[in-house]
Chain A
């Protein structure tokens, strides 16, 4: 009995010594680098994961990011459990009120791809906004519907049922998608509206971009949406969409850049950053493009570091985006971002 007790005492004291020694050596290192934690949009995650090592070597910041979805990011920064949140949908008024002292900065620009599973199709699927809205409203149910074949004459569209796939969780990608459909379809606007989720009337819901891709891969005739980086990375085919200039555009860098070129010369609020269905005049413009935002709390104890990190992201960080189909921010949006950063 006594021997066991002595053994336990020796072991615990050894562990204690080791632990204090560990913290002693770790402590000076910790003072040098600042850790910044973030969570939110999965849309921007591929880009942020390129930024993390670059920020580490530039400033010694230890940035962590959890791609839990825009909804989760907003919840996390509202509860201040992270240093920054990221969302593709600008905060609603209620969300701004709940998220005390939050500042929203546009920090990346990309697009939502409309993906499909039609193995026999001979060309890239062409869709216009009204048809897309009708598919998701359940009004068009077969791929060989005249409304679809009109623009895809010789591609060999099958007599397959269309299964629209949507995000069941609250998602910034859904916001971008419904914002576009509301802009082109009055029926969509009145029935489902714009938001991070909607009262879907047709199809199947799945959790996350991976869930949507999962259902899509297993269901012939399915159509879905996700950020273009995701579609590209997973080699899923995506459609070209008719823009206001009457041309079918793809979500490539030029298409996104052309959509952003329609912005006014001076940006005054997040509300004016919407670039879905841009007006006629840019034949390349991809109509489902979007800015995505970082949210930080003003008066945070790490405000200085956050300002520095976000400033870096909207300047140098932009050059990391191109391989992932993130178009660098236009100058006037960058200027707006600088003004927002000052408020943090």
Chain B
């Protein structure tokens, strides 16, 4: 208390407030309860998912993970098709969204005039406000057919020698799903990147410019290295979003049951298969197998989020050492 009263910024010095201690204790209690509560929910949720999936885990064992096939009518279940679909769609989405997000963020912080930057930034962030089910509808009605009629034939005519662009175009498939995911994660990653670039110390980039480097060199040598660890954390957060998205993906991926080298035919992801077939599953073992898919998804998502946090921590530690 005596320390804060010497602080010039501290308000109403010398005024004694009764009950402030009690309020502090009360507030601390509520905050603690909220924090512990959230942690408990995460723990209980994980426990419950594993508990409910347990019969399927016992029945199929770990080989469930690398078994291909999902036949509810003969009770053969395996996750490989969905793990593959989840990884491939998320990977493509990241591959496209990362450079785009960095470019958007750089444009908004370094290049665009203020009058232009503000509305564009708002629009990019509004993209995140579109409900995924609406994005999925747009995917079915507009985007999917456009991909099948224009984008896929174009890719085929130029890059048809690559196996990923072979076969017949399809309006529902892995590629449209990955592109819809790209649209969904750009607002997240670009907002974080923008924040990171705006924190690059002005004197650093100005110094670089003063030493005769071009705009691009200043960005490449100063801004990007400065923000790099944060960017990788942003990418991992986007990855978490891409892994978990269910509704929009269900609507455009076409729920296929096989692994294809080409990106055109339908596939399916873990989240999308759960969303499309959980309701009215015909047997208990099917429900438990779907929960097993859920457990796999949960583990993958937890790993990505934990690694994002580790990266951010390391980044902050390095920052503290360099500034302090």
Give A contacts to B, CB under 8 Å: 68-75, 87, 89, 92, 94-95, 98, 161, 163, 168-170, 178, 192-201, 203-207, 211, 214-215, 218-219
Contact A168 B276 (CB under 8 A): yes
Contacting residues of chain B (260-299) with chain A, CB-CB under 8 angstroms: 266, 276-277, 279-284
Residues on A with beta carbons closer than 8 Å to the beta carbon of B250: 168, 207
Given contacts A168-B250, A168-B276, A219-B171, contact A94 B283 (CB under 8 A): yes
Complex Cα spacing A75 to B280, Å: 5
Q: Which of A94, A95, A193, A203 contacts B71 (CB 8 A)?
A: A193
B141, CB-defined interface residue at 8 Å: yes
Contact A169 B168 (CB under 8 A): no
Interface size class, chain B: 20 to 34
Return A33 CB to nearest CB of chain B, in Å: 30
User: Looking at A74, A89, A198, A199, which has the most chain B CB atoms within 10 Å of its CB?
Assistant: A199
Contact A193 B280 (CB under 8 A): no
Complex Cα spacing A195 to B266, Å: 21
Complex Cα spacing A94 to B71, Å: 16
B83, CB-defined interface residue at 8 Å: no
Complex Cα spacing A287 to B69, Å: 30
Complex Cα spacing A95 to B258, Å: 28
Given contacts A204-B172, A215-B171, A218-B171, contact A195 B73 (CB under 8 A): yes
Contacting residues of chain B (94-130) with chain A, CB-CB under 8 angstroms: none
Contact A199 B280 (CB under 8 A): no
Complex Cα spacing A70 to B281, Å: 10
Contact B71 A192 (CB under 8 A): yes
Complex Cα spacing A218 to B140, Å: 10
Complex Cα spacing A168 to B267, Å: 11
Q: A178's closest neighbor in chain B, by CB?
A: B73
Given contacts A168-B255, A207-B250, contact A198 B279 (CB under 8 A): no
Contact A215 B172 (CB under 8 A): yes
Contact B168 A92 (CB under 8 A): no
Given contacts A205-B256, A207-B276, contact A95 B171 (CB under 8 A): no
Q: Which of B266, B281, B282 contacts A204 (CB 8 A)?
A: B266
Residues on A with beta carbons closer than 8 Å to the beta carbon of B140: 206, 211, 214-215
Interface string of B137-152 (1 = CB under 8 A from A): 0001100110010000
Given contacts A168-B250, A206-B172, contact A73 B280 (CB under 8 A): yes
Residues on A with beta carbons closer than 8 Å to the beta carbon of B256: 200, 204-205
Q: Which of A98, A169, A200 contacts B257 (CB 8 A)?
A: A200
Residues on A with beta carbons closer than 8 Å to the beta carbon of B257: 199-201
B189, CB-defined interface residue at 8 Å: no
* Closest CB pairs A-B (n = 3): A71-B280, A193-B73, A205-B255
Q: A171's closest neighbor in chain B, by CB?
A: B280
Complex Cα spacing A311 to B169, Å: 51
Return B80 CB to nearest CB of chain A, in Å: 13
B244, CB-defined interface residue at 8 Å: no
Complex Cα spacing A81 to B73, Å: 27
